Amino acid sequence: MALLEVTDLTRAFGGVIANNSISFTIEKGEIVGLIGPNGAGKTTLFNCIVGYYRPQQGTVRFKGKDITGYKPFQTNREGIARTFQIMSIRGDLTVLENVMVGAYCRTSDREVATNEAMHILSLLELKKNARSSLTELPIAAQKRVGLAMALATKPELLMLDEVAAGLTPKETEEMVSLLRKVYKLKDLTLFITEHVMEVVMPISQRVIVLDGGEKIAEGRPQDIANDTRVIQAYLGEKYAKSR
């Protein structure tokens, strides 16, 4: 049984079909990348899985359970967490308090939430920033806090939306190393959507490609990088020749 199973998922906005009958599975312990040009339907797909949008047809199953149409708090309780390219934060809360918000999804005990949040901050090398305001931190540190908030909910499936957006090449490399670290230590399954190929291609075991709301390819990163249709839609000849 797959950890996540998406079958014939379709979502339209007016006359625009953002996701057109998309199907795929993700096995427990996999790292799966999701790529495609702007407007391909990547974020809509994420939102349909997590529960921000309800698919107009098709199903989403998690650990064999039909969670189609669940609200975000319900999918989180089932074991799915999601980061955002643009974080929604409480500027009046410290870094520690923001991460505690995530921890409260699993406990109502303040001491337990504090200890869990501090553990995650230590893991992500943010402990020194615990008492800082999130708005005081550089973008790279803010991205780590977003990751910490998701991890604090103790997910089985962690969905990462543009986690390297706005980062320098060095910061991007550090983020990839960090993802490898939490993947191993937290026994996670990762589903990553990215425009930065230096993130998604090296770390992913399998890559799904969307274009115009449809799935046009799926396979190993090395195969995807040399797929003619993918090259035409997104990667470009230059990237394929560099592989």
Residue 112's pLDDT is 97
pTM attached to this predicted model: 0.91
Residue 236's pLDDT is 60
What per-residue string of b and e applies to 92-120 under the rule 16 or more CB within 10 Å gives b? eebbbbbbbbbbbbeeeeeeebbebbbbb
Residue 235's pLDDT is 59
Q: What is the mean pLDDT of each run of 10 residues along the chain (243 residues)?
A: 97 94 98 92 96 96 97 96 74 89 94 97 95 89 93 96 90 93 94 87 94 94 88 64 57
Residue 59's pLDDT is 98
User: What residues does each domain of the chain span?
Assistant: 4-79+155-242
Residue 94's pLDDT is 93
Report the CATH superfamily, name and number, of domain 4-79+155-242: P-loop containing nucleotide triphosphate hydrolases (3.40.50.300)
> How long a stretch of residues is the chain?
243
